[in-house]
Each structure stands twice: as structure tokens, then as C-alpha cells.
Chain A
Amino acid sequence: MILGSFSFLLFLFAVIIILVICQYIPIKMAERRLIDIAVLTTCSYIYVLVLHWSYALCQLFVTGLCYFAANFYEKTRKKQCIYFSIVILVGVLCYFKYTNFFVNSIRAVAGLDSVTLNIILPLGISFYVFSAIAYLIDILRGDYLAEKNFLDFALYISFFPKLTAGPIVRGKDFFPQIKEYRGIQWDAFKVGIQIFVFGLFKKIVLADHLGVFVDDVFRTPTAFNTGTVVLAAISYSLQIYFDFSGYSDMAIGVSKILGFDFKPNFNLPYISRNVSEFWKRWHISLSSWFQDYLYIPLGGNRKGKVRTYINLMLVMLISGLWHGAGWTFIAWGALHGVASCVNRAFGEKLKALGSWVNGAFTFIFVTLFWVVFRADSFPTAVKVWTGMFTAHTGINQPYTWSFFAIACLIVGTIVAWRHSKETGKKDRAGLLIIEGFYPVLDLSKLWNQVAFFTFIGLTFIMGYFGNTAFIYGAF
């Protein structure tokens, strides 16, 4: 049951119906809130239980551990219990996600054949473990008090729209909304459904179509001519963006329908003028997590140049490892680390080249880095890079969906630029800050309804319905 699938829509419909029925139960507001939260938590557990019972068990373990650790800390002020819980959480994540990788890396060094241990990776573990760690550190820092209501806390960890691939929501953003929860509101519903369809369009029309071409070229890079390999690399940059931002939009839309507000997780990352800016615009909830809970505690940029570079490298390496258990992901993280260090060292000088040149270079580098991220091995990545930079013949595939996706991206950016011009927000250098926004319409107007219905129709008509999964769902 992936987000946006037919079975998910049925599930969501059932949840909405139950919540609407709950609104008509003649009880006090506080009691109704309790019932609503119980319904949402139960449904979130059902969501994972239908996939595998062990997913729910793992989620329950993480929930229980953090809940009791935080409350125990608040009573006793013993920091050790928080540290110990964080170590266990990291251990759980490592066990499920990295055991096979570590075992096979050691076996490879020892010259032994690789083995696959039968370990099931619980759905969304990377995301909810990071939410849990953030919560414990926030409690330790005294940012807010430990949650006393177990149901509320269980919902924070398990809330189904954000479970599979985030966004990684912070406790300080989520708990106040739970406390003030008022069920499904019609105005929020109208906005949420538009954000959801917007995400669905990105996913099934753009990302999934691009995936067909990217899969073909990355499977057999040597069979294609230079232009096609370059187009495939660009297409993957677009695919992963539309796939993941599409997922995030759907998660944010569904959350909005159910009465929760989450911040956008992407902000036009491909207009970034350097790699550091890229990470402020790409998967914002993860980037800010790494900044707040790893980079800054390591000393950030406060302990001299060398230490800053080490911290940047370390954060990007761990970010790479978080994305996947493989050396290609670590290499991808390392490349971003080096690029971040270069930007740190020469960023001011590079600014002289101008926004357009810096933007183009950033896109080129990010696209080249995505190659190693997408490739199943280093030899494949090298083949793709070689294919991009050496003139050679092969199959020519000017994939039309790639051009359509590029056009969508350009049009979207122009619309965002015009919108940002109206708000007039500028950075310290006086340059306009271009920010993305959701094209939400006022659905009480007839022509807006026409536009929305047409957009839904186009999404389905142009959608790709082959076998696809969310790229970030695997992380």
C-alpha cells in the first residue's frame, strides 16, 4: 500500500469517514480529541500491520523506548538514560539497515563470497528513528517537556502519511497540533486534496515516466550514444526530485486533509547557486536534522577551518550512509562533502561568476553526483560518466518525457520566480530569494473547480501505471 496507490486511497477514505463520524458523537471537545487521536494511531498501526507485523512491532518498540526514556529523564534528570536510548535507536537502525552491508564489506576484505542475511527492513525506519532521536535530544536540551500522553507520542512516531518517506517532523511542530487537534476541517481538506493531487502528478506523470528511460540507460549504459546518456543523467536528477518531492507533497496533502500542517520538504533545489544552498532546498527536514543534531553539536563552523571541513565531510558521509547501505551511497555523500568544503573555501570568490553560472555549475555537479547514487555499482557509475564525456555511437533515444519534465520544471520555476518577485524577499547580498509554493486554488469559484477537475483528469490520463516504487521509500 504505497502513498497514492488505489489501495491507499481506499484506506484514506476509510480513515476520513471514521473521523467525520467521530465529529458527530455528542461528547466534550477533549474527549473527542482523544478519540480522534486513538483512531489516527490505530489506523497508522493498521497501515503497517497489513504490510508485515514486524514493522508494527519495531515501531512500537521505538515508541515505548523513547516515551519511557524521556519521562524517566524528566523525573530523575539522569542524562544517561537519554544517551543509552539514542545508542539503542542507532543500534536498531544499524541492525535492520546495515547488517548485510557491514557483514559483506568485512567478507569482501577477507576474500569471501557475499551472503544475504534474511533481515526485513521495517517500513520507514530511517525516518521515524530520526524523529525519535530528535525528540530525545530536544528533551535533553529542554526545548519542550516530555510527552505524557502515550497515544499522542505513539501518533508522533507512527503517523502514517509521513511514515514511508518523511518528512521528518519535529516534536515541537507536531505535539502542539495534536493538543489542539480539531478533526477534519473542510477548508483544510480543500487545500490538502490539491497538494495531494499536485504530488500525485509529480509522481505518476513525471517521475514514473522518467524512471522507464533512466532504468533502461542505467541498466545498459554502453548501448547508448553520448547524448542519450547525458539526457538519462539529467532525467535521473529530475526523476528523483519529482519522485521524492511528489511523495512529500502527497504526505503533506494527506496530513493537511487529516488536520495537520507540515512544512514543505523541498524548495526548488535545482535553482541553487552552490551545494550548500542545494542542501537547504533539498529534503529540508533531513538537512535541518543533520544541521541541528549533528553538524552544530560537532562544533559546526565555530572551531576553525580544518574542523569545519571535517564536520562537513562527516555530516555528508553519514548522510550518504543514511540514504542507503552501500559504498556508492557513501561515495555520493563524500562527493557532496568535498563540494561543500570547496564551496566553504572558495564560495565568496565563486560568487563573482554570477548566479546563472553558479546555478548551472551546481546543477551539473549535482547531476554528476546523482549518477553514483543511482548506479548499482561503481563500474556502472564509471560507465555512465564515461558515456557522458566520450563521444560515441549507440542507441539514440530522445525521450520525450524528459523534455516534458524539463519544461514542467522550467515553467514551475518561472511561476515561482514571478510569485517571489511579488513578495520581494531578498537575501543579504540583495538578491531575490526564489521560493516554491503550492498552487492552491479557491475551490469555491467555478473556474477553479474546472481547473482542478481537469488537472485530476490529466494526472490520470497521462499517468504511468507500470511497476514503480518511491525511490526514498527504500531508504
Chain B
Amino acid sequence: MNLKKIVIHLIKIAVAFLCSLIILSAFALVYKHYPPQYDNSSGSTDYRNQANGFMSNMKEGHAWFRYDKNGYNNAVADDEIDVLLMGSSHMEARQIGSHQNTGALLNQYGFRTYNIGISAHDLIRCVANYKNALEEYNPQRYVIIETASVDIEVDRMREVLSGEYSKVKVSNHNSLLSKIRDIPGISLLYIAINEYIMRDFSRKDASFTQGYEQQEYEQTLTEFLSLLKDGGSNIGVIIFYCPPEEVQADGSIRYLTDEIKLSTFKKVCENLDICFLDMTAPFSELYNKKCILAHGFSNSEIGTGHLNKYGHAVVAQELARLMGKEEE
């Protein structure tokens, strides 16, 4: 094979690669595409999605929607709001239609709600960003924070208390490399190949509160949650807990909650006058009456992963009931 033939061959491969990339990018736009994320200078969340960015997801659940002008998942947004909803990917709800998530449903119940829930923002990050979020959005009645765990990492709580809290880092979108990585096909391939490689390496899970005495844990948690009361504002704070669930061999359902941690959390909230809503009973009722689990989708593991539309509906219903009752 002479040099000319080799060069033609390589050019052909490069052209084929580019063509396939275009096809894969078109496919990615339908199958799974998240818009770029940027640092959030206001500090209400560590980062936000691209304003009006298009999102598609068929990997877990099925959803296609646009984020709002601030990069959050809100189907409707008023300038004045009653309720600010904070939380993690459960509240960002990339798995269901934008009219089906808790924020949208609370709006339907008559509470003007703005949802700034975004991936990786667990309770610790939400509390750390609480003041900034309050300043930016100025809710009139409530701030609601979602948590999927009541076993809170002590070291990270201390980081927030000491002001050494490190924010979620998002990639810089100015470099050429990151611009290439933002191409839908490449972005998706990058994630997939990364997962493929990482599969060969085992992962370890550890308890967050191991090595800490109960009293020490409770004290740190109290100091930490007190940050939600430091602002001096009169608005109510609600923390709601969505317990992870698991179907048992006999068909019953089990909630993966550490009962001691749960009662500690409840106690601390009560002492600080924070409303705590435990979703265990409503989720149980949903399952026992209708055989519907609050988590999981028709294309993922049963009962695990993110809240589905039924879970969001129950959460919204319970929150609306609680807020209605509080105001009475």
C-alpha cells in the first residue's frame, strides 16, 4: 500500500468518524442530553444549568424539557414567590415531565413555588446556600428543603459551619476541549466510556457518621441546622425526607432508614422549630393501596433511583396539606 492510499484511507476514516458523530449527536439529543452547567455567582446553588437549556433523558425515566431563564426546572415562574423549593436531583426531576414535579404541582395547589433543586445538592449544600437563596428569591412564606438521607456527614457539616465548604466544581466552558465535550454525541460517549472503564474497579460505601458518638453527632446537627434560623426571617422552613425503599421477598416494602438517626433528626428539627415531614408513611400508603412505588421508572431498577411522578405527586400533596395546616 503506497502513502497516497494510506492517506486516502485515513481521510475516509476521519470523515466516517465525523459523520457518525453527527448521527450520534442527533440521537443523543433525543436519548440523553444535559445542557452545559455554569458556576452560579449568586450562590443560591453551587452551579446552574444553561438558561433555557434543552434537556432530554431516556436513560432513567422519559423526559424532554427546557430549563427556565435561570437554568432551573420550572414550568411556570412568577416574579414573586410564596415558596422556595431546594433540593437535589430528586427535585430537579430530570426523569419526568416538567409539569409533573413537586414544584409544578405545588403551583397547581396554589402555592407560587420556585424550584431551585439541582443535582448533587444534598441537605448540606442546600443549608450552605440557604442564605444566598433567600436573598436572591425572597420567598414570602416557606423554604422547603428535600433530603434523601437523615444520616448527615459530620465532617461536611463542620466544613459548612467553619466556612470551609467546597462547592461543586463544574467544567470551564471556555476552553476548546470543553467546547468539544459539550457536543451531545461526544458528551454522552465520554460519560459512557468513563462508566465502562470504571466498571472494572470496585467501589466502597462507608457510613458517614461512623466513629462519632451520638451526642457529638446530635450537637453538630443542631448547630448545622441552626443556620436555617440565623437569617432572622419569619418565613417557615420545612425539611422533607424521602426514604430510599426496597421491595422485600414477601412483597412488602422496607425503608432503608437508620431509625436512631431519624429520631435524632426529628428531635433536632423540633427543637429548632423546623417543620420536618417524613414521607415514609405516605409512601407506604401509596404502595399498600395502589402497589405503586415512589421511586424508579419503567426503564430502571424497581423502587430505586429518583422519585417518579407518583412520588412527586404524593410529596406535593403532603407538602400542600402541611402548609395549609400550618397556616390555619
A: which residues have CB within 8 A of B?
A: 5-7, 212-213, 216, 219-220, 222-223, 225, 393-401, 446-447, 449-454, 457-458, 460-463, 465-467
Contact = CB atoms under 8 A, between A and B. Distances in A.
Contact of B249 (A220, A458, A461, A465): A220
B200 A6 contact: yes
Interface stretch (B8-16, B133-141, B209-217, B220-228): B8-16
A270 to B, nearest CB: 23
A216 B301 contact: yes
A212 B24 CA distance: 25
Contacts of A397: 298, 302
A421 B47 CA distance: 58
Given A222-B250, A453-B16, A465-B195, 15 more contacts: A6-B199, A216-B301, A219-B249, A223-B248, A395-B291, A395-B293, A401-B299, A447-B16, A450-B20, A450-B23, A457-B24, A461-B28, A461-B31, A463-B192, A465-B198
B200 A7 contact: yes
Tell me the dominant secondary structure on chain A's binding face: helix
Interface string B291-321: 1110000111111000000000000000000
Interface string B13-48: 101110111011001100110000000000000000
Contact of A5 (B199, B251, B303): B199
Given A6-B200, A460-B193, A454 B24 contact: yes
Most buried by A among B16, B32, B293, B303: B16
B71 interface: no
B154 to A, nearest CB: 30
Contacts of A213: 302
B199 A465 contact: yes
The 10 A-B residue pairs whose C-beta atoms are closest, nearest first, are A449-B16, A453-B20, A223-B251, A465-B195, A454-B20, A460-B192, A222-B251, A400-B299, A457-B24, A216-B302
Tell me the dominant secondary structure on chain B's binding face: helix
A450 B13 CA distance: 8
B247 A461 contact: no
Most buried by B among A450, A462, A466: A450
B188 interface: yes
Which of the four size classes fits the interface of chain B? 35 or more
Contacts of B31: 461-462
A400 B298 contact: yes
B160 interface: no
Interface in B58-78: none
B103 interface: no
Nearest to A456: B20
Contact of A461 (B16, B192, B299, B301): B192
A189 to B, nearest CB: 14
Interface string B166-206: 00000000000000000001001100110111111000000
B126 to A, nearest CB: 29
A188 B192 CA distance: 28
19 contacts: A213-B302, A216-B302, A220-B249, A220-B250, A220-B251, A225-B291, A394-B251, A399-B299, A449-B20, A450-B16, A452-B16, A453-B16, A457-B20, A457-B185, A460-B196, A461-B188, A462-B31, A463-B196, A466-B199
A123 B13 CA distance: 39
B12 A449 contact: yes
Most buried by B among A397, A461, A462: A461
Given A460-B192, A463-B196, A465-B199, A449 B27 contact: no
Contacts of B199: 5-6, 465-467
Given A6-B200, A463-B196, A465-B195, A446 B15 contact: yes
A411 B177 CA distance: 39
B302 to A, nearest CB: 4
B297 to A, nearest CB: 9
A318 B70 CA distance: 66
Contacts of A396: 291
Contacts of B24: 454, 457-458, 461
A42 B20 CA distance: 38
A398 B296 CA distance: 12
B189 A460 contact: yes
A383 B214 CA distance: 44
B199 to A, nearest CB: 5
Given A400-B298, A465-B196, A446 B16 contact: yes
Nearest to A4: B196
Nearest to A216: B302
A202 to B, nearest CB: 16
A206 to B, nearest CB: 13
Contacts of B188: 461
Nearest to A401: B299
Contacts of A446: 12, 15-16
Interface in B238-288: 247-251
A401 B21 CA distance: 24
A384 to B, nearest CB: 13
A454 B291 contact: no
A336 B293 CA distance: 38
